[in-house]
Amino acid sequence: MIILLTGGAGFIGSSLAKQLLEEGHRVICLDNLDSYYDPDIKWRNVQETLNDPEYHFHEGDIRDSELIDTLFQNYAFDAVVHLAARAGVRPSVQDPGLYYDVNVNGTLTVLQAMQRWQVKKMVFASSSSVYGDSQQVPFLETDTADRPLSPYAASKRAAELLCHTFHHLYGFDIFCLRFFTVYGPRQRPEMAISQFTDSILNGRPITVFGDGSTSRDYTYVEDIVNGIIQSLENLKGYEVLNIGGSDPISLADLIHVIERAVGETARINRLPMQPGDVQLTYADIAKASQLIGYQPSVRIEEGIRRFVEWYRSRLNYSLATEEY
């Protein structure tokens, strides 16, 4: 299978690319190496697969319709995995126009190219944030998702609706996967687990928004990758699927898990809850289990242990490089 992977240099995308290549697929990666976080991190992710003859990297923006058309013209894509997006709930409150432009108009650009070039299969990366501050737990795909609390969440929900429109008009097979707080090796540096681990290892206080009672359904990146691949293998019609760990943990308990993995105690700087944050996320994964055979396999304690081990190895590598 020849796959267009947008956002392929990021945390999830680079992990997915590696697995797709191992399974014998051809991966065409498109990423603009955005400066939302250090582009060098993404470039290092890409370097790990550049030598594979079945991997091709193109730097560019999903809003560039001419570039997108060129890619569709040059490669006979069988499917698109659309991960590219402007990420982050809190930053979206400060710049909603950018989030709408990238996440909605960018998705529309890709969908229109698929229609022009008759590529009818897509896996779209959505987000658990579309559920807003839902009181119905665990979250079901049939729940109303029309009360988003941030522009990021609103943009992801809008993109889901666009995907349905193209399914209806052109017979596209599209699965919209609502990811629940993904973590693991290569995780973005501004995310909580990365920041907490780095601060605790370096003896700095961690910043905690709220009293620690908020809970998140954390999902290890390996499980997310498996969910995407299982979706590719079972694409038929239009579906929305929760891809989560289905085992929420409070922020306070998460910090304790990280402390045990690091072997140090955190010093905590508490601040008020931030606009756009929700109290709880919790995935009902029964539909994904039934349709694609999805089952998360890495519990939070094991996932954090693996992440801290990876983080320490990267830190030691950086220090060794500086010495020489």
Helices (H), ranges, 25-102: 39-47, 65-74, 89-94, 96-100
Q: For residues 137 and 139, what is the distance between their CA atoms, to the nearest angstrom?
A: 5
Strands (DSSP E) contained in the chain are 2-6, 26-31, 55-59, 79-82, 121-127, 173-179, 182-183, 206-209, 215-216, 219-220, 238-243, 249-250, 268-271
- DSSP summary character for residue 103: I
- Indicate which residues carry an active-site annotation: 152
Helix (H) and strand (E) counts for the chain? 12, 13
Reduce the DSSP state of residue 95 to 3 states and report it: coil
8 DSSP 8-state letter: T
The token pair that represents 120 in the structure block:
């009818």
Query: What is the distance between the alpha carbons of residues 167 and 171, in angstroms, rounded to a whole number?
Result: 5
Residue 48 to residues 18, 80, 106, 255, Cα–Cα distance (Å): 8, 21, 27, 31
Contact yes or no for 217/281 (Cβ under 8 A): yes
**CA 225 vs CA 81, 137, 180, 208, 314: distances in Å:** 11, 24, 13, 29, 22
φ, ψ of residue 72 to 5 degrees: the values are: -65, -30
Helix (H, G, I), strand (E, B) or coil at 312: helix
Task: Give the CA distances from residue 312 to residues 49, 204, 252, 298, in Å, rounded to whole numbers and listed in that order.
Answer: 22, 16, 23, 20
Task: Name beta bridge partners: 31.
Answer: 59
